[in-house]
Structure formats: structure tokens, C-alpha cells
Structure 1
Amino acid sequence: MMLEVDCSNRILQDIPDLPANVYTLSLIKNNIKVINDYQFSLLRNLSELDLSYNKIKRLKRFSFNGLSNLLILNLNYNPLPYTERAIPSEVFKSLISLKHICIRFTGPIGSLLPEEALSNLKLLESLEIDIPKIKPYKVVFSKSFDSLVHLGTLKVGKCFLLRYKPTLSII
């Protein structure tokens, strides 16, 4: 039997130990600050993880290792800056099945979401991000996004600049 676990609004500071048969996990509106390496390694059946409205300031390189069947990840409304230190380039690498990711409304936006982290999400169909105000103006989606061949939906939370430069392909 697969379990749906709702640990929302429990004032949790840590992610609880859970049985391996959990397939959806809601940790909305808690006080979680850190997602340790291999935190979810036993939850191989997890398909949906909602960590929105927490206090996560930084992800670790192996925070999501073991979640190879995860389809949906929500990190909205966390004070998670768009920096390489906060979102390491390999943090999403093990999420080989991920189709939808939300990383919006994360606080002051001063840089672009680290592209290399997203480029590992080969099956991604839907992306929700913020777009910062950057001067001088830069191309928002560079060649790193070329690997997201299944991406069909882009939702922008905070949008200070939206400038898209498509890549020309000759067939």
C-alpha cells in the first residue's frame, strides 16, 4: 500500500523519518531550514514533494539523491537565493523523472537561477521561476536550456525582465 503523507503546518524543523512506501509528501508551512544530503534516500517511491513555505536557504549537493521517481518538486516561498552556493549545479541531477519544478517567490532576486542545475532535468515539462532585474541586460535563457527539450510550460513569478533569444536550428 502506498502512502500519502501530509505534515503541513506542524512547526517541523527537520524532515521526519518516513516509511519507504510514501508516494506523496507535503511539508508545507513548517520551519525546515536544511535539506541534508541523502535526506530522502529511502523514499524511492516518492512522486510528489512539496517543501513550499519553509525557511530553506540552501540546498546541498545530494539533498535529493534517491528520488529517481520524483515527478513534482515545489520549493516556492523559501528564502532560497538563486546562487551556485545555495543551489549547487548537481543538486537536481538524481531527479531523472522530474516533470515539474517550482522555485518562485524565493525572496530578493539578484541573479539568474543556476542554469547548470536545471540542465540536468532532461524530462522537465513545466518550470516555475522568478526572473531578476539584471543590468546590463542579459539573455535569460541561454544554451543550458537547450537540453530541456520537453519543456512546454514556463510560469514566471516575479518578472523584472523577460527577454528571450531563441536558438536558430536548421533542419
Structure 2
Amino acid sequence: MSAGTHPSLRMDVPIIILLIHLTHTEIRGLLFSRAETETGCSLGHFPCGNMTECLPQALQCNGHKDCPNGADERRCGDNVGWADLFGETLQNSNTVDQYFLNECFLQEYPESCDCIQTDVACVEVNLQEVPRLSPNITWLSLRSNQIRVLSDSVFSEYSALERLFLQNNSLQLISKDAFSGLHSLKRLFLSENLISSLSPGVFKDLHQLEWLDLEGNQIQTLNYSILKSCSKLEVLLLMDNQIRRVPENTFQSLWKLAELNLSTNRIKELPKNTFKNLSKSLLKL
């Protein structure tokens, strides 16, 4: 349904475009805001700053510089950059004490990791489990290690944590209470692992979560009980999994969702009301 054909659609609200393409082996479901179509890139892609290069949306703010100029990791709050912490004016000021900006404010973190202020990066350091860290940590990257299991309450002491990167770890088992206590978490990256299932309630404490990336796993089923606590979720990436069925109430509580990607799964058909609540809340129909 387009904006021009529905009499009750208000023109002063963001317009979300829903694209669905079904084949025998996959479904492509994407929700995008109109703003993304004005960047010069195709739907599902973003520009690398002032460059002509466009990359898939899943690579933006994923904790890794994919644009040659690093534009994909700017203004994310995910990378060790001072714009989010102090503002651009202070960042560019000649009077900024660079020693202070690079100082670590954590008392405990592994020697093999890098720490700046309350941000810790433990990338490709052969970790097999989540390390001990100071409770005031706000940003943690454990990308590209060998962590295969997330046990109960493994992050429970880190209630201030806002960004958590766990890509490329061969993760197989995530306990139902693995993310308990993460009341401030806004972005969670679990892409490129071996996750085949998610327990009901696994994200129950993630009431502030805005971005969830589960791309490139082996997830087979979705249901309402997995996502019902994530009412602030804006981006949900589920492409390249093994999903066969999506119950019609799966996304019922995700009224703020602005991007949903279900491409390259094994869904043959969708219940007609799968996106019903999303359409009403996002498009104001």
C-alpha cells in the first residue's frame, strides 16, 4: 500500500517501505525509512560518507571499518571516537588533553585487550570465554575470538554496557540468562556464529535494545517469546539463517522497528498478518 492510496496516512510521519519477495527457498523482507532512499544507494545499502561506494546496511556500525574512509563507524557510539563522548567541538579542539582522552577508566581488563576510557576491544586475541572486566564498562568488543558458550549471567555485572560485539566467535550455545542484567544495552551483534536456537526470554532484560544483528547463523525458528521484551528495537537483521517459519505474532511488540531483513532463509510462505502490527504502528495506517 502506498502513501498516495491510503486516505488515513499522515504525511508528516516517516514512511516505511515494506518489500517482500517470495521464492521456494527464501524470503526477502526489508523495512526501510524513506531517508535511506535519498542517499544515492539502493535500498539496504548506505554510502561511505562523501564517497560513491555503497555497502550493505548490516556493515554499518558493526565495530569494524568496512568503508575505506571509515565512515561506516562514525557517529555510532560503537567505536572509540570522541564525538559521542565529548562532541565534535571538543574533539577538534587544540586544547584537548590527548592523554586524558586516551586514558583507561577501568581497573580490570585483560592485558591482551585495548582500553580507552570505558571502552574495551578484545579483537582476535584467542579468547575462549568472556573475560573479567570492571563493572563501569560501556562498550565491549569480543569480535573474532573462540568463545563458543555464553553461560548464565556472564554479563550480569555490566549494567552500564551499551554496545556488545560478539561476531565471528563460533558461538553455539547461549544460555537463557546469558544477557541478564544488561539493562542499558542498545546494540548487540551476534552475526557470523553457529547459533541454531534462541531460548524464550533470552533477551528479557534488553528493554533498551535498538539494534540486534543475528546475520549468518543457523537459527531455525522464531517466535514472539524471543523478542517480546525488545519493544525499542529499530533494526533486526536475520538474513542468512535457516528460518523456515515465522508465526504471525513474532514481531507483535516491535512497534518501533524501522528495518527488518529476513533474506536468504528457507521460508516458503508467511501468514498474512505477519507484519500487521508493524504496518499500523510504523505507517500510521
TM-score (norm 1): 0.83
Aligned mate of 1:128, from 217, 237, 246: 237
**Alignment correspondent of 1:49:** 164
1:153 aligns to 2:259 (yes or no): yes
Counting helix residues as a fraction of each chain, which structure ranks higher? 2
The verdict on how the C-alpha distance between 1:76 and 1:133 changes in structure 2, with shifts beyond 3 A counting, is closer
Shift of residue 123, structure 1, vs aligned partner: 0.9
Secondary structure class of the residue paired with 2:252? helix
| Runs of 4+ displaced beyond 4 Å | none
**Alignment correspondent of 2:217:** 106
Deviations 1:62-92 (A, max 9, x none): 10011000000000011001x3xxx110110
Contact 2:154 2:179 in 1 (8 A): yes
Contact 1:105 1:157 in 2 (8 A): no
**Alignment correspondent of 2:133:** 18
Coordinate RMSD, CA, aligned: 2.2
1:95 aligns to 2:206 (yes or no): yes
TM-score (norm 2): 0.52
**Alignment correspondent of 1:167:** 276
Provide the rounded CA distance (Å) in 1 between the counterparts of 2:225 and 2:195: 17
* Structure 1 unmatched runs, 5+: none
Contact 1:104 1:158 in 2 (8 A): no
1:116 aligns to 2:222 (yes or no): no
Counting strand residues as a fraction of each chain, which structure ranks higher? 1
Secondary structure class of the residue paired with 2:208? coil
Shift of residue 120, structure 1, vs aligned partner: 1.9
Provide the rounded CA distance (Å) in 2 between the counterparts of 1:72 and 1:161: 26
- Higher Rg: 2
Contact 2:223 2:250 in 1 (8 A): no
The verdict on how the C-alpha distance between 1:97 and 1:48 changes in structure 2, with shifts beyond 3 A counting, is same
Comparing 155-164 with 29-38, which one deviates more in the overlay?
155-164
Q: How many residues align?
A: 160
Secondary structure class of the residue paired with 1:116? helix
Counterpart of 1:95, as a letter, is: L
Provide the rounded CA distance (Å) in 1 between the counterparts of 2:252 and 2:138: 30
Contact 2:222 2:247 in 1 (8 A): no
Contact 2:210 2:235 in 1 (8 A): yes
* Structure 2 unmatched runs, 5+: 1-104, 106-116
Counterpart of 2:212, as a letter, is: I
**Alignment correspondent of 2:188:** 73
Contact 1:104 1:157 in 2 (8 A): no
Aligned mate of 2:249, from 143, 150, 164: 143
Aligned 1:54-65 pairs, distance under 5 A: 54-65=169-180
Identity among equivalent pairs (%): 28
